[in-house]
Amino acid sequence: MLNKKTVDDINVKGKRVLVRCDFNVPLQEGKITDENRIVAALPTLKKLIADGGRLILCSHLGKPKGPDPSATLAPVAERLSQHLGKPVKFMDDDAVVSDAVRAAVGAMADGDVMLLQNTRFRKEEGKNEEAFSKDLASIADLYVNDAFGSAHRAHCSTVGVTNFVETSAVGYLMEKELKFLGNAVENPVRPFVAILGGAKVSDKIPVINNLLGKVDKLIIGGGMAYTFFAAQGYGVGTSLLEEDRIEFAKEMIAKAKEKGVELLLPIDTVVAKEFARDAEHKTVPSSAIEPGWMGLDIGEKTRELFTSALSDAKTVIWNGPMGVFEFPNFAKGTLALAQKLADLNATTIIGGGDSAAAVNQLGYGDKMTHISTGGGASLEFLEGKALPGVVAVQDK
C-alpha cells in the first residue's frame, strides 16, 4: 500500500506549491494532438486551487537538449487555462527559474496558477544536478509530484528538488496509477492474466521475467512473438527477430512450465510481403512462415485462443499491441483483444504508450478500468522496480 504523503495530507493555504505535472503531450505544428495528460492533471490542480495554494507548475515536454522554441509549454498553458476556467500565467523564460520568475511568484495570490517553461531547457535537469534542483526549491514552500509518466527518471524536477523542500507529497494521478498498477501486480484478484506485445522482446525482458512469477497466464503477441517462434525452432521469414534473445525466450518457456504459468503464443499469424499498409497478406500456421514473408499480426485462430483464455480472467494487464495496429489490415488481433477486455467483468489495466494509443484509437478507452498515463514508468513498475520519483516523496 502507498505510504507516501498525498495532497490530502498537506495544508497549502497561502503557500507556494511547486507541482511537477506530466504535460509531455504530443504536438503537431504547435497544436496539442492528444490532451489526455492535461485532463489527467486536473483533479490535483483543482484540489490545490480550492485549498488556496499558489500553484507553480512545471513539466518537461519532448526531448530538447536546452532551450528550443519548438518544445515550449506555451500551448499547454493555454489549454490548461481553458480547462481550469482561470488564467494560467506562462513564464516564458529559458532559465525556467530566474529573477523575473521569482518576482512573479512573489506577486501571486492564493489560488493563482503559473506554468514554468520546459524543465529540459535547463541542462542540469536530466542529470539531477543540484543547481537547478535548488532553483526550483527556492520558489516553493511545498512540492507535489503528480507526474507518473516521469516517475521512472531521477531528474531535478522529480527527485533532486525534494532534497531542498520541507514537505513533499504525491498528487491524485500518481496515487491512482500506483493504486491500480500496484494492486494488480501485488494483490491481484485471480485469475490474473498479462498480455504482452509490441515490437521488441529486448524492451520487455525484465517485465516478462517479473510477471512470470506473478500471473496465472501470460499471453505473448506482436513483433516479439517471432523470437519465441524461433525459440521453438520455427522459421520466421523476414519477421522481427532478435537472434540474441532466442536463448532468453527458451528460458522463459521453461520458466513458465516450472512456475505452472500458462504461456500462450500465437498458433497462426498474418504474414505480408512487405511492411506496408496495403501489402499482400495471408494467414499461415506459426510453424509455416515461408522465407520472404513477415508476420504483422496474430491470426484468426490465435484471436480465438487468446480471447477464450481471457474469459475467466479477473485481473488483466496489457502492454503492447498484437500487431501493426496502425495499418487496418493488421489491426484485427489488437482490436479483438480490446473488444474482449471491454466486455470482461474484470479489472483491466492498459500500460501507457502504444497500448494506450491503440485502445483509444480503436474506441475502447472508456471501457477499461485504468489506462496508465506513463509508458516507460508503467513498464518499469511491471518490472518490479521502485520508481525514483515516488521513492523521493516523503512518507506519511
Summarize as ranges the residues that interact with ligand AMP (CB under 6 A): 198-200, 203, 222-223, 240, 295-296, 320-321, 323-324, 326, 353-354
Torsion of CA 206, 212, 213, 215, to 10 degrees: 130
List helix spans (H) across the chain.
36-50, 74-84, 99-106, 130-138, 172-186, 205-211, 225-231, 246-259, 300-310, 332-343, 354-361, 375-382, 388-391
Nearer to ligand AMP, 75 or 320 (CB): 320
Out of 4, 15, 37, 54, the active site residue is 37
Contacts of residue 229, defined as CB under 8 A and 6 or more positions apart, other chains included, come to 236, 239, 265, 266, 286, 287, 289
- What is the rounded distance in angstroms from the CA atom of residue 262 to the CA atom of residue 212? 9
206 Cβ contact partners less than 8 Å away, ≥ 6 residues apart: 383, 384, 385
Q: Rank residues 185 and 294 by Cβ distance to ligand AMP and give the closer one.
A: 294
Q: How far is the CB of 320 from ligand AMP (least distance, A)?
A: 4
Minimum distance between the CB of residue 337 and ligand AMP, rounded to whole angstroms?
Answer: 12
The DSSP symbol for 300 reads H
- Closest residue to ligand AMP, Cβ-based? 198
Active site residue 37: yes
Q: CA 218, 224, 230, 235 torsion: positive or negative?
A: positive
376: annotated active-site residue: yes
Q: How far is the CB of 226 from ligand AMP (least distance, A)?
A: 7
To ligand AMP, the closest distance from the beta carbon of 12 in angstroms equals: 38
Q: What is the crossing angle of helices 36-50 and 74-84, to 10°? A: 60
Q: How far is the CB of 128 from ligand AMP (least distance, A)?
A: 26
Catalytic residue among 62, 365, 376, 384: 376
> CB of 238: closest distance to ligand AMP in angstroms?
10
Which residue, chain included where needed, has cell 500518481?
174
Catalytic residue among 353, 374, 375, 389: 353
- Considering beta carbons, is residue 160 or 198 the nearer one to ligand AMP? 198
Closest CB to ligand AMP among residues 5, 332: 332
Nearer to ligand AMP, 177 or 354 (CB): 354
Q: Residue 145 in contact with residue 158, Cβ under 8 Å?
A: yes
C-alpha cell belonging to residue 361: 484509437
Between 156 and 225, name the residue whose CB sits nearer to ligand AMP.
Answer: 225
Of 89, 134, 200, 255, the catalytic one is: 200
Tell me whether residue 106 is exposed, middle or buried, using C-beta atoms within 10 angstroms of its C-beta: 0 to 12, 13 to 18, 19 or more: exposed
Enumerate the active-site residues.
37, 200, 353, 376
